[in-house]
Amino acid sequence: MMSSNVYLSVNVYTLIIIILLVVQCYSEEAKFMSKEEKADLREQARDMFYHAYNAYMENAYPADELMPLSCKGRYRGLTPNRGDIDDCLGNFSLTLVDALDTLVILGDLSEFERAVKVVINDVSFDNDIVVSVFETNIRVLGGLLSAHILTYYLQERDGIMSWYNGELLEMAKDLGYRLLPAFNTTTGIPYSRINLLFGIKSDRLDAARETCTACAGSMILEMAALSRLTGEPIFEDKAQKAMDELWKMRHRSSDLMGSVLNVQSGDWVRRDSGVGAGIDSYYEYCLKAYILLGDTKYLNRFNRHYNAIMKYISQGPMLIDVHMHRPHTNSRNFMDALLAFWPGLQVLKGDIKPAIETHEMLYQVMQRHKFIPEAFTTDFQVHWGNHPLRPEFLESTYYLYEATKDPYYLGVGKKVLESLQKYARVPCGYAAVNDVRTTKQEDRMDSFVLSETFKYLFLLFTDPEDLILNLNEFIFTTEGHLLPLSLGLRNRSKTVLDLEIEDYEYSRRCPNTLQLFPESFRKPLKNMVDGMCPRVRSKRRLLASEFSASNVNHLKLVKDMGINIIALNDGRVQLLHSFSAARTPADAENGLLFMQEMVELSKLQPDLQETAAQSVSFQVKNDKGELQTVYIHACPAQFGVNLKGNQVVQSKTAIVHPYTACKDLENPDEIKGKIALLERGECMFIDKARRIQVAGAVGAIIIDNIPGSSAITTPMFSMSGDGKDDVKIPVVFLYSQDASKLLIALTDNPLLDVTISQMNGDVSTTKNEEESMFQKLKVSVQEFLNKHTGIVFSKTVIVGNLVADIGTDKIRVTQKKNWKEPENAKEEYKETVTNSQWSKIRAGLIKSISETELFVPINILKIYYQTLSGFSISEIQNHDIGRQTEWFLKELMIEYYQIKDDSLIVLEKTEDIPHVIRLDNKDEKENKNLETLNEILESMDQLEKICLKRIKF
């Protein structure tokens, strides 16, 4: 086991390599690659770089990027806006600056010299453009510093470029000062964006208060290098302060970090913790800051984080996000492509075994899908299909090959090269893959394709003696730029340096070589991904978010899935799943999914404290003609603008076509400047939001597609995004019953002003309103809809003092006013067979009628009739709803005359009874059916008690 105080750079693996080569001599699976084949692959990689580089220089320069399908340049402000993805563009010839040091790696010194002159003459940062601080730092500042260092390196070694006099460093310093205002926050953690000309005073920086952990924690290498090269300490000081503050913000119990934070308050906005998107390079820079600068505090921090990651996030070869404050709970069920850098970082750490395992898992995912998709599920299916030709997997492959010299990794690189050539190469460069499942291409070639992807691919097939640089003297930044390890010797006292040399020698110790047999680590994982066959699932009949305890059909469905629902004495509901109790294996699998969804839903209630609940409000006239404000409790989103305090968005509304907004919008002009109304379903919430935003909407209200759903009866939740922070409008969710209030108001006044804001906790319904809502819950119908949706009761049945109006899907039962009791009524409604449980149920229903009108869904009425009337199934099929209603009213009248004091009636708890009535079994005992009906009503009573305590409007 390695000491926690260990650092391994690529140049210290000699002992490992010798042992591994001996072991591989006896390996049956180690595939030898000839020098000729390796050299051929190296030249193919070189050709791939120049195919892309020349296409950029000839068709796109001085634009920031090449659009390879249209074969022209991408300019900020001139080409169509892509949202946050364009924040890396600043009209400063990004791709060329980013690719400068790759030319040196390739040994093309003449083109490097020409390109440096072009950058010095043409590139300017005096642009009124808002850019990403993080991307500009790692791509542009890092590119300039690396090129400056390599230029002096070549001057001293080869005597070339004698004309160069530090111009690139001056440009880097100019850019560094333009980035410095971003650090002017109360925490010292930098804003995510900055205007290159006006700093943080730009009016386009409203949403810059939130930043990702990787964005804030990936500045130290470049800023420290700038300080040590210029002698101006302010850059390193600012970046170091940001790192120190981030360390303080870790969760003290788990040592994990969240992924998004507020730069002013220091509060976590998203507490998902992993090693992928939003957090990746923070961990990378903790270790590399120690390697480059020699400060042991960075190593200590990395080791603390690393131990936490291996304890909570690493699940075998998979790395799955967890909640930083609940580290034993997964926060999502997919992984993203950015985590592919992790095995490479583990090589630098010296932890080879897990690096090999995770890399092997990723390689199998790549083989299965041609590329590693941007995100993939834990059973290795595609979650997000795009692949922008990312370099992280090749980076880890290169590190593992350097550490082990196992030819297996050359084969991996060859496979990646072939996929790039087959699916990404186009006449004008290399195009990103829009979807790995279809290999459809996208008009996009990011600068990192030249800065990293082709660089690591070339280095993988290149022997050290074929390079003009000794890479052991450098460290790669997260963008693949080269910084010399000698920077760590600058501006340091002798005492500190001597101490660091001792630690440095100690950190060069190799890990336990007896465990370094890469092939034996890979072998158990050989069929890990292939063994996970794509599952063809039929459409699920019930989702956890749709479930209602008052819906008997839902109860039957969960029973079919092998789930028993038990109402506990304290008001909670317990779900018990048994695979063997399910109707079919497919139902059992759906039951497992249902249980998982329920677990996630149960976590959402406390999570709402982190994302402020939202409100939709508008004004309508009451019966007296006075204006009153209606507030509707809305679910918030984990993307877009979460309105807080006095922040509001007010506008007219427009309905989106198509209503789900999962395809190109047909009426974008109608939506522009308005709050868009759209429906849930068919695609992800975040996809809907992006389409609405592109159309120019100022906000969005997504309406549930489940009829009858309500914030009263359904847990509130927070709509999840996909980790990308490109939605800049507020998006809220309304359950269908709640949304009907808004839709009816809009029917009366299409020009109604609607406001989205934070929910005011002082606004609440009265107790009577709450009780009325739950009375409707018990019979699965809503008084609001009855009044406003035009429900027509087609037939009336009268029995005794009870009147039932029959509608299309429900009956309404009321009492006659001023009813005169017939003399022989008690005899007419005398019960011949006494059944205590059915009597209790009837008593509860009569009590409901006495307090308010009673609505009974027809499907419930049919269950009563089929279960208790005594008729056979064949007879029942010939009885219309009128006859069933008449029987029901008569049963209630029988109970009416038996009740002495219905206010004292209490429904008793029965033993664990299944919540499903099997109507197809003629032998089902009447007593069991009655217990079931009793249990259903009691469960709804208990649900009422729970929810009434939580309701706040």
Among 272, 374, 406, 895, the active-site one is 374
Nearest to 346 by CA among 275, 279, 247, 405: 275
Give Cα separations from 37 to 41, 50, 539 (angstroms).
Answer: 6, 20, 49
> Of the candidates 175, 155, 283, 277, which has an alpha carbon nearest to the alpha carbon of residue 222?
175
In angstroms, the Cα distances linking 174 to 164, 466, 661 are: 18, 36, 45
Strand pairing category for 72-74 and 65-67: antiparallel
> How do strand 675-679 and strand 699-703 relate by DSSP bridges?
parallel
CA distance 272 to 312: 12
- Spatial contact of 720 and 685, defined as CB atoms under 8 Å apart: yes
Side chain identity at residue 750, one-letter code:
P
- Cα dihedral 31, 32, 38, 40 in deg (nearest 10): -80
Beta bridge partners of 268: 261
808 marked as part of a ligand binding site: no
- Selected catalytic residue, list 86, 98, 135, 935: 135
Number of Cβ within 10 Å of residue 418's Cβ equals: 13
Catalytic residue among 101, 321, 392, 395: 392
Task: Give the DSSP letter of residue 1.
Answer: -
**Helices in 65-141 by DSSP H: which ranges?**
94-105, 109-122, 133-135
Q: Is 374 a catalytic residue?
A: yes
Q: Is 500 a catalytic residue?
A: no
Task: Give the residue ranges of DSSP H helices in 727-872.
Answer: 736-748, 767-778, 783-788, 825-828, 836-851, 858-868
Task: Give the 3-state secondary structure of 327-364.
Answer: EEEECCCEEEHHHHHHHHHHHHHCCHHHHHHHHHHHHH
Output 229-232 pairs: Cβ under 8 A, ≥24 positions apart. Answer: 229/145, 229/148, 229/149, 229/169, 229/172, 229/487, 230/169, 230/173, 231/491, 232/173
Q: Please tell me the distance from the alpha carbon of residue 200 to that of residue 179, in angstroms, as a whole number.
A: 9
- The pair of structure tokens assigned to 757 is 């804001």
3-state DSSP assignment of residue 634: strand
Longest CA–CA span in the chain (Å) reads: 122
Angle at CA 434, nearest 5°, toward 430 and 437?
115
The residue whose two tokens read 């040994």 is 107
Task: Measure Cα distances from 795 to 117, 846, 852, 880 in Å.
Answer: 89, 21, 20, 12
Nearest to residue 159, comparing CAs of 230, 109, 104, 103? 109
CA distance 288 to 281: 10
Catalytic site includes residue 135: yes
**φ/ψ of residue 259, rounded to 5:** -110, -25
Strand partners, 709: none
- At residue 263, φ and ψ (nearest 5 deg) are -70, -20
- 518 exposure class (CB count in 10 Å sphere: 0-12, 13-18, 19+): buried
Strand order from edge to edge, sheet including 795-799: 795-799, 802-806, 810-815, 854-857
Catalytic residue among 101, 236, 245, 280: 280
How far apart are alpha carbons 372 and 339 in whole angstroms? 11
Q: What does the H/E/C string look like for 204-216?
A: CCHHHHEEEHHHH
Structure-block tokens of residue 841: 């149920």
List, as residue ranges, the binding site: 478
List, as residue ranges, the binding site for Ca(2+): 478
Positions marked catalytic? 135, 280, 374, 392
